[in-house]
Amino acid sequence: MKKLLIVDDHSSIRKVIRLALRAHFELVEFADADAAYAYILNNRPDGIVLDVMMPGHLNGFQLCEKIKSDPSLATIYVVLVTACGQETDQLLGQALGADSYFVKPFSPLALASHLKDALLTTADL
């Protein structure tokens, strides 16, 4: 089963995402980007659902940039899921290497469908 990280400081958002994805992915959750980054360095996941605005040293944009600028991590699929919905925010996410961008409020089912299409093969389903 493919491993997916859910990184969001709101437990209710993590829960909604978890419920939409748990049938298809092994899920690991973090409330901040700092802890997620430490985990990523030692346990390379297949994908990350990443909030942008979080407490701590790293925000989601910074974590995305760290992942995508490291050749050993750059192929990890990063989905930014954030309330930062302005076009400039989306362009910044794209420039930092995010593979896709969902604006809150979002459809958990659309996110699940997107991630299944991006990360799973027919054999995984």
Q: Does the pLDDT of residue 124 top 80, yes or no?
A: no
**Helix, strand, coil % in the chain, rounded to nearest 5:** 45, 20, 35
CA–CA separation, 15 and 118 (whole Å): 21
Which tens digit of pLDDT belongs to each residue from 61-101? 999 999 999 999 999 999 999 988 899 999 999 999 999 99
- Tokens matching residue 76: 């990890």
Position 85 scores a pLDDT of 87
Q: pLDDT band for position 123 (50/70/90)?
A: low
Q: Are 99 and 73 in contact (CB under 8 A)?
A: no
Position 125 scores a pLDDT of 65
CA–CA separation, 82 and 101 (whole Å): 8
Q: Are 30 and 7 in contact (CB under 8 A)?
A: yes
β-partners of residue 47 are 4, 77
Position 120 scores a pLDDT of 93
Position 3 scores a pLDDT of 97
The domain 3-19+26-124: what is its CATH number?
Answer: 3.40.50.2300
Q: Does the pLDDT of residue 122 top 80, yes or no?
A: no
Single pTM value for the model: 0.94
Give domain limits for the chain.
3-19+26-124
Which tens digit of pLDDT belongs to each residue from 21-72? 999 999 999 999 999 999 999 999 999 999 999 988 999 999 999 999 999 9
